[in-house]
Chain A
Amino acid sequence: MTKHKILVLVFLVALTSFAMGQAYEHCDTKALKDTCKAYLDRPYKYDASNVILISFQKKAQLKEIELPMFIGETYKILFNTYALPPGVEINVYNKDADHEGRKMLFSCNSSGAQKVFIYETEHWHSKLYIDYVIPAAHGDNGATDNTGGSPDIQGCGVLVIGYK
């Protein structure tokens, strides 16, 4: 009887630990955006923002954001990587991913100690393309095999755009 109770308890504790280990920390997008906004000092004003959700897959992924720009306007783009898992690269280009010979204008990543990055545009481009390069799943970074159903989210990247 005692042995039986112990086995049941071990099973319950293991089950609870496993279940809670699968829970992920949500992205508090408001807090992440508020952190970015603190860097938008006057005369810059908030214009737009984006939240990109990260779920590792077996292959590397590219998520591209297209940002139109207006002639004569100066923009400040803030990247908050606090909630990104390490290894994610963020690159800004003047053309989309299908264009060979596109120019990289800015780059940062989520691996270092710095968590908020700022890019101030210097020249006009009709559009900017912001690429989040997500590495392939490895070891314990929580990859899914993407066989259907909702993928688990391992983190999020927030960007905030301000204009002058």
Chain B
Amino acid sequence: MTRNYFKALGFILGVGTLVLFSCHGNNSNSIPPGTGSDSTKSKNQVSAADQDSETYLLPSPLQIASIFKNSGLVYLPDLTAPIMDVSKYNSLYEQALNMGVYSADLSYCILNKQTDDALKYLKIVKSLSDKLGFGSVFESNSFMKRFEANMSSTDSLASLIADLQMETDTYLENNKQKYVGVIAFAGAWAESMHVGAKVYDKNKTDGVSSRISEQMNILGNLMKLLDKYKAADSHIAGLVDQLKVVQTAFAGFDEVKNYNEDSDKPVSLTPDHIAQLSALIEKVRSSFLAS
């Protein structure tokens, strides 16, 4: 009787195993790269934000710095944010926002071969990443060592920062913290615009003025994303209000109201309107540094 019992058990387990494999519908036996399971991720839980039918992408701070640089933005000393003690930033919001500010300054310094300052900004970005919980992104890829080893090559440093951006984006996505990246981008955007506007104010380069107006497209996407994630952090609503002042002012300029969207050029702002935008951005940026 016992032998019959175990025979039956073996038969049932064998059938069960066949049923199990046949139920994996679309998945082929040769598993393509990138589809392995990861036991650290939560199963089946998809947030409402992940299921939206529309998504808005944001450029990296490095790309923004790069397009400004290519348009004639030169390096001026004392424009970038003073490096503060990271213990000053207590909330996630402050840490993310200022990480963005310093990331923009890091990119500006790298592209203008200010490598000593770039290293200082990289260190504070790392410190803030540690506080935000993803300092491991730096360690797992030995970014600090690689950065220090490539200080003489602007292109290598820029590539390293781009790689770091990808690792950070992936980390935030996998840990359902995309909103942290969006807050950081707000800091980076304001800082990049501050630098662009200040340099334009001094040199009046046409290329820089058209980049300033081009960046207002990005502000539109940033606002939509902040709105999407406003439930994630109580400070986001206030941030949206601050940026809305800039967006509203821009939308009210005649050259913007009369702009042909099919044009192959960005809006051409008058020097006076650039000055107005610059003043508004300064106010926003100052509030970020004071937080």
**Which chain A residues have a beta carbon within 8 Å of chain B's beta carbons?**
2, 5-6, 9-10, 13-14, 16-18, 20-21, 23-33, 35, 37, 42, 45-53, 55, 61-68, 70-73, 80, 82-83, 85-86, 115, 124, 126-127, 140-142, 150-155, 158, 160-161, 163
Task: Say yes or no: B46 contacts A17, CB within 8 Å.
Answer: no
Give every chain B residue within 8 A of A70 (Cβ-Cβ): 59, 63, 67, 211, 214
Q: Chain B's nearest CB lies how many Å from the CB of A7?
A: 10
Closest residue of A by beta carbon distance from B20: A17
Q: Complex formed: what's the CA distance from A5 to B265 in Å? A: 77
Given A6-B8, A30-B170, A70-B214, A13–B62 Cβ distance below 8 Å? no
B55 touches A14 (CB 8 A): no
Question: How many contacts between A and B, using CB within 8 angstroms?
Answer: 177
A85-B12 in contact given A45-B159, A45-B162 (Cβ < 8 Å): no
Contact B44 A24 (CB under 8 A): yes
Q: Which residues from 44 to 60 on chain B have a C-beta closer than 8 Å to any C-beta of chain A?
A: 44-46, 50-60
CB contact under 8 A between A83 and B169, given known A5-B5, A9-B12, A66-B221: no
Would you give the 0/1 interface string for B17-31, flagging 1 where the beta carbon is closer than 8 Å to chain A?
001100111110001
Determine the distance from Cα of A42 to Cα of B155 in the docked complex, in whole angstroms. Answer: 10
**Given the complex, which residues of B lie within 8 Å of A24, measured CB to CB?**
43-44
- B144 → chain A closest CB, angstroms: 19
Contact B5 A2 (CB under 8 A): yes
Q: B177 at interface (Cβ–Cβ under 8 A)?
A: no
Closest 4 CB pairs of A and B: A21-B23, A13-B16, A31-B34, A32-B34
Residue contact B16 to A16, C-beta cutoff 8 Å: yes
Q: Which residues of B contact A158 (CB under 8 A)?
A: 34
**Complex contacts, A61 vs chain B, CB 8 Å:** 53
Interface size on B, residues (CB 8 A): 66
- Taking a contact as CB atoms under 8 Å apart, the answer to whether B266 and A72 are in contact is no
A82 to B143, CA, bound (A): 29
| A68: min CB distance to chain B, Å | 5
A144 to nearest B CB, angstroms?
A: 11
| Residues of B that sit less than 8 Å from A by CB | 1, 4-5, 8-9, 12-13, 15-16, 19-20, 23-27, 31-38, 41, 43-46, 50-60, 62-63, 66-67, 70, 155, 158-159, 162-163, 165-166, 169-170, 173-174, 210-211, 214, 217-218, 221, 261, 264-266
| Closest residue of B by beta carbon distance from A64 | B54
Chain B neighbourhood of A16, CB < 8 A: 16, 20
Check if B34 sits within 8 Å of A28, measured CB to CB. Answer: yes
Contact A46 B67 (CB under 8 A): no
Q: Is the CB of A66 within 8 A of B57?
A: yes
Q: List 14 A-B contacts (CB under 8 A).
A: A5-B5, A6-B5, A9-B12, A13-B12, A16-B16, A28-B33, A28-B35, A37-B166, A63-B53, A66-B56, A83-B34, A154-B26, A155-B26, A161-B57
B138 to chain A, nearest CB (A): 16
A21, A71, A141, A161: the one within 8 Å of B20 (CB): A21
Q: Using Cβ atoms and an 8 Å threshold, which residues of chain A touch B261? A: 126
A residues in contact with B163, CB < 8 Å:
46
Residues of B within 8 A of A9 (CB): 8-9, 12
| Complex contacts, A63 vs chain B, CB 8 Å | 52-55
Cβ–Cβ contact B53 & A62, under 8 A: yes
Q: Which residues of B contact A65 (CB under 8 A)?
A: 54-57
Knowing A2-B4, A17-B23, A21-B20, the reply to whether A26 touches B38 (Cβ < 8 A) is yes
Q: A25-B27, A127-B217 are contacts. A49–B63 as well, Cβ < 8 Å? A: no
- A residues near B210, Cβ cutoff 8 Å: 71
Residue of A nearest to B36 (CB): A28
Given contacts A16-B20, A82-B34, 9 further A-B contacts (CB under 8 A): A17-B20, A28-B34, A46-B165, A50-B55, A63-B54, A70-B214, A71-B210, A80-B34, A151-B46
